[in-house]
Structure 1
Amino acid sequence: MTAVPVEDLRAVLGTVADLIDGVGPGEWNNPTPCPEWEVRDLVNHMVLGHRLFTGILRGEATVAPGALDPAAADLLSDDPAASYRAAAEGLLLAFGQPGVLEQDFHVPVGRVPGFAAVHLRAVEELAHGWDLAQATDQQPRFPDAVVERQLEFTRDKLADVPPDQSPFAPPQPVPEHSPPLDRLAALLGRATRPDR
């Protein structure tokens, strides 16, 4: 089994961590493209996601209603970037366990093999990285090749997710020549702007 999905996830997590480092002191309460979430809520949601998946992969947690709701628990310290990096490292270690990519796990969208769970985390972080960049006027630096692989995975698998379990809004229109990240964001329900 190839390690490329885990390496792609590592690259995505590193870029998101850099975006979090770039959040200014006065930007944590900025609105985001995610309705009802400010920047701090969004980052907390991502940390909750890492911690939940880490627990699931280690057999120490199960999916529970509201588990990813940032109002349920604040896992960010006075240094949100450090909290994010620690949770991301824990997730990567969990995905690095022998045999994890071949096992099946019950995650928020249903039962999936570990191989698909890696992609799900990468796609989630790409989408929320895009959200964070929009909210804080940053330019995300995700490698295009990584985004293209996640875009292909998402196109193939999104139809398999039951509508009532999809964490994403319906796809939005986007010009075909748009960068891969904008095409992925639009596929996942984000309204992209051609001038960005």
Structure 2
Amino acid sequence: MSNDPKEAALRYASTSAEAFRDNADLVGSLGATEWENATGCAKWDMRALEGHIVGEAVWFPHLIREVVDGEPPLPGEVWGELAELPGDDLASRIRGAADELVRNVENASPDDLQKPADLGWMTIPLWQGLFVAVMEGVYHNWDARASRDPRAAIPTAWALVLAERMPVMAGFLARQEELQDAKGRYLLEVGDGVGPVNLKVDGQVVVEGGSVSSPDATLNLSADQYVRLIVGRFPLGPAIDRGEVSLSGDRRRAESLNHVFKGIANE
């Protein structure tokens, strides 16, 4: 994949927009009793999850306007109002925001996309910040889909975009207090064109492309399984038992990766 800022920003915007639109379709089909159902994000039921998704969908295109045009941030009360929208209105806002996200990136210049964007917890170039939109759109759409089907999968095309920056995100998402029990070298043989991934846990988590000799455990994963593993949404034990993932080496150590990568808001 190209790392040209404009091409990457368009790829991130179009992928997240596809996921947001898919989520809007799901929201439009929800029955009255489904809003209280559990989701793939352990701390949120469907109502809370969709309140978060609509906020993120609206926030990212506005962030581009803040960076490019100098617009002020949206008022704080907007987020609570969005979260309380009835289902049809919520779906409409998500879908409209997805369209605006792509349009705003298309209209941004390469220089605009290099400008710093304040994400609240870090400031990075705008084009890189748009990768977070992919994470929000794709992972939380999966969370919503998993409410109906716990065996739901992330579409391969979306998973491949997420996989681009998993080596960076893995170190950020790893739980430091769990590293000692998971100490070792892991080889993730990731399909769908991703290739081998070398994951080392030794006081920190380092993830690099390429193979490694004599790993403690080797796992064969699809792109979907790989990107869900890193964010705490792919329990390895049941998948190994069902034959969905093949393992060679130390099973206990392999399953310890689920403790290292528990995810955010997903304990």
Superposition TM-score tier, normalisation by shorter sequence: 0.7 to 0.9
Structure 1 stretches of 5 or more lacking a match? 164-169
Structure 1 residues 53 and 6 mapped into 2: Cα distance closer, same or farther (>3 Å)? Answer: closer
Is 1:119 matched up with 2:131? yes
Show the counterpart of 2:209. Answer: none
Q: Report SS of the residue matched to 1:105.
A: strand
Show the counterpart of 1:53. Answer: 60
Structure 1 residues 63 and 85 mapped into 2: Cα distance closer, same or farther (>3 Å)? Answer: closer
Q: Retained in 1: the 8 A contact 2:18–2:98?
A: no
Show the counterpart of 2:194. Answer: none
Show the counterpart of 2:201. Answer: none
> Larger C-alpha radius of gyration, 1 or 2?
2
Residue identity opposite 1:77 in structure 2:
P
Aligned partners of 1:43, 1:84: CA distance in 2, in Å? 10
Shift of residue 15, structure 1, vs aligned partner: 2.7
Aligned partners of 2:63, 2:107: CA distance in 1, in Å? 12
Greater alpha carbon shift after TM alignment, 55-64 vs 73-82? 55-64
Shift of residue 133, structure 1, vs aligned partner: 1.3
Shift of residue 123, structure 1, vs aligned partner: 1.4
Structure 1 residues 151 and 18 mapped into 2: Cα distance closer, same or farther (>3 Å)? Answer: farther
Is 1:134 matched up with 2:177? no
Show the counterpart of 1:83. Answer: 93
Shift of residue 105, structure 1, vs aligned partner: 0.5
Shift of residue 49, structure 1, vs aligned partner: 1.2
Aligned partners of 1:191, 1:116: CA distance in 2, in Å? 25
Q: Retained in 2: the 8 A contact 1:30–1:135?
A: yes
Aligned partners of 2:30, 2:150: CA distance in 1, in Å? 9
Q: 2:229 aligns with which of 171, 186, 195?
A: 186
Name the Cα RMSD after superposition: 3.7
Structure 1 residues 106 and 125 mapped into 2: Cα distance closer, same or farther (>3 Å)? Answer: same
Q: Report SS of the residue matched to 2:40.
A: coil
Greater alpha carbon shift after TM alignment, 147-156 vs 128-137? 147-156
Shift of residue 30, structure 1, vs aligned partner: 0.4
Aligned partners of 1:190, 1:77: CA distance in 2, in Å? 28
Matched ranges for 1:1-196 at <5 A:
1-2=6-7, 3-59=10-66, 60-62=71-73, 74-79=83-88, 80-99=90-109, 100-137=112-149, 142-159=154-171, 176-192=219-235, 194=239
Structure 1 residues 160 and 41 mapped into 2: Cα distance closer, same or farther (>3 Å)? Answer: closer
Q: Retained in 1: the 8 A contact 2:40–2:147?
A: yes
Residue identity opposite 1:86 in structure 2:
G
Structure 1 residues 73 and 9 mapped into 2: Cα distance closer, same or farther (>3 Å)? Answer: closer
Aligned partners of 1:132, 1:84: CA distance in 2, in Å? 14
Structure 1 residues 61 and 51 mapped into 2: Cα distance closer, same or farther (>3 Å)? Answer: farther
Aligned partners of 1:22, 1:162: CA distance in 2, in Å? 35
**When you count strand as a share of all residues, which structure comes out higher?**
2
Residue identity opposite 1:189 in structure 2:
G
Shift of residue 113, structure 1, vs aligned partner: 1.4
> TM-score, with normalisation over the residues of structure 2?
0.57
Higher relative contact order (CA 8 A, sep 6+): 1
> TM-score, with normalisation over the residues of structure 1?
0.74
Aligned partners of 1:12, 1:73: CA distance in 2, in Å? 19
